[in-house]
A and B are shown apart, each in its own frame.
Chain A
Amino acid sequence: MSATSAGALSPETVMQQMKRNGVTDIVWLPDSETNWLFLLMQADPDLRLVGVTREGHAASIAAGLYAGGRKPMILIQNTGMMESGDSIRGWLMGLQVPVVLMVGYRGYTRHGVNSDTAATYTERFLMAFNLSYYLVENDADADRISVAFQEAERTRKPVVVLVGDEYHGFNR
């Protein structure tokens, strides 16, 4: 593990987790922090990227991909996840789609002191929707991504991975 990756979540690590868990399609809406990950995903010929214009769209697209036999993953930010509530309810929970949502935890601070309401309401939103979630802050936490995939398959429910290293790990 490099000195950089010891304290951060590297895009390569996230890609390894995607591969390990058989992800075929990434349904996503870009944000600045995921740019390097985007470049890695874009360079992978086995991974299809489906860009959306609003995060809620990702839910129904992922549901359709799953219905047709693919294994999608959703990559969005917490702000967009909260905007997507009804789509997550109807298209993912309602259709029992086992999908992992990797969600950038904008505003997260390890110490719980934050000035960004996006962070304030993120975990409350997940609890309100009874969505299981795992926090990943650095490469040492990366196995939790596989745990999320396993839980999604076992329960046939969406499971969320909160990426708490948004401001470092994905930056170039």
Chain B
Amino acid sequence: MMHTTDVLNLFAEHRGDAIVIPGRGGRHWVNISESATDLPLGDPAMGGHAGFGLGLALAQPNRKVVLFDSEGDVLMSLGMLATIAEQAPTNFYHFMLDNECYATTGGQPVPNAKHVDYASIARGAGYPRALAFNELEPLRRELPGILRQPGPVFVALKVLPEVENTPIGGRVRWRKRAADKVVQDLRAELGVP
């Protein structure tokens, strides 16, 4: 398994001008990059990050859109994979951080946590490319090629859980901008009214 911070730092080396939706990796990503093309939205509603990424990729076909989804979100919205595959945005790079649990609620396992083959599910839903990595070094070798080829691509990544047991009200807030401000900042950057 990998550390989420290591995955994100590795990706940052190859990011280029991609729009990044860090998803559940947001708390780490804000320490790596915080610009108008970074979209640390927190968790507007579970299961929706992939849809947001799809919409953004369709709206901005000339920019790479990179999403760091989670396995809990993907499980909640498996049908979204078929929608993404049908739309087939070539600029969409769908990474999934799989820590095998609901880390923000105390680490309870997701259903069938250790036995779900997400890359196979994505492939079965129609993604032309789907890969899985358990360790950092193979990912380090393959990542440039993954990002060089057209999407949509699904990349499942096994990461170590970072379980939170502090009551939500007592947690340190990591977001530097409100979610609606994040969206407006992006629109301003893209020059859309």
- Spell out A's residues near B (CB within 8 Å): 25, 27, 48, 50-54, 56-70, 72, 86-87, 89-91, 94-97
Q: Complex: how many Å from CA A56 to CA B47?
A: 9
Say if the beta carbon of B56 comes within 8 Å of chain A. Answer: yes
- Asked whether B55 lies within 8 Å of A72 as measured between CB atoms, the reply is yes
Tier of interface size on chain B: 20 to 34
Pick from B46, B56, B87 the residue with the most CB of A within 10 Å: B56
- Asked whether A59 lies within 8 Å of B79 as measured between CB atoms, the reply is no
Q: Complex: how many Å from CA A151 to CA B47?
A: 28
Residue of A nearest to B51 (CB): A60
- Asked whether A91 lies within 8 Å of B58 as measured between CB atoms, the reply is no
6 A-B pairs within 8 Å (CB atoms) are namely: A50-B54, A52-B83, A61-B83, A68-B55, A87-B47, A96-B183
Smallest beta-carbon distance A81→chain B, Å: 14
Say if the beta carbon of B6 comes within 8 Å of chain A. Answer: no
- Asked whether B48 lies within 8 Å of A60 as measured between CB atoms, the reply is yes
- Asked whether A94 lies within 8 Å of B58 as measured between CB atoms, the reply is no
Pick from B41, B48, B54 the residue with the most CB of A within 10 Å: B48
Smallest beta-carbon distance B6→chain A, Å: 27
Q: Which of A58, A61, A67 is close to B187, meaning CB atoms less than 8 Å apart?
A: A67
- Please, which residues of chain B bring their CB within 8 A of the CB of A25? 58
- Asked whether A51 lies within 8 Å of B51 as measured between CB atoms, the reply is no
- Please, which residues of chain B bring their CB within 8 A of the CB of A67? 39, 52, 55-56, 59, 183, 186-187
- Spell out B's residues near A (CB within 8 Å): 39, 41, 43-60, 77, 79-80, 82-83, 86-87, 179-180, 183, 186-187, 190, 192
10 smallest CB-CB distances across A and B, nearest first, come from A64-B55, A68-B59, A53-B79, A90-B45, A69-B192, A60-B48, A60-B51, A90-B44, A65-B55, A64-B52
Smallest beta-carbon distance A71→chain B, Å: 10
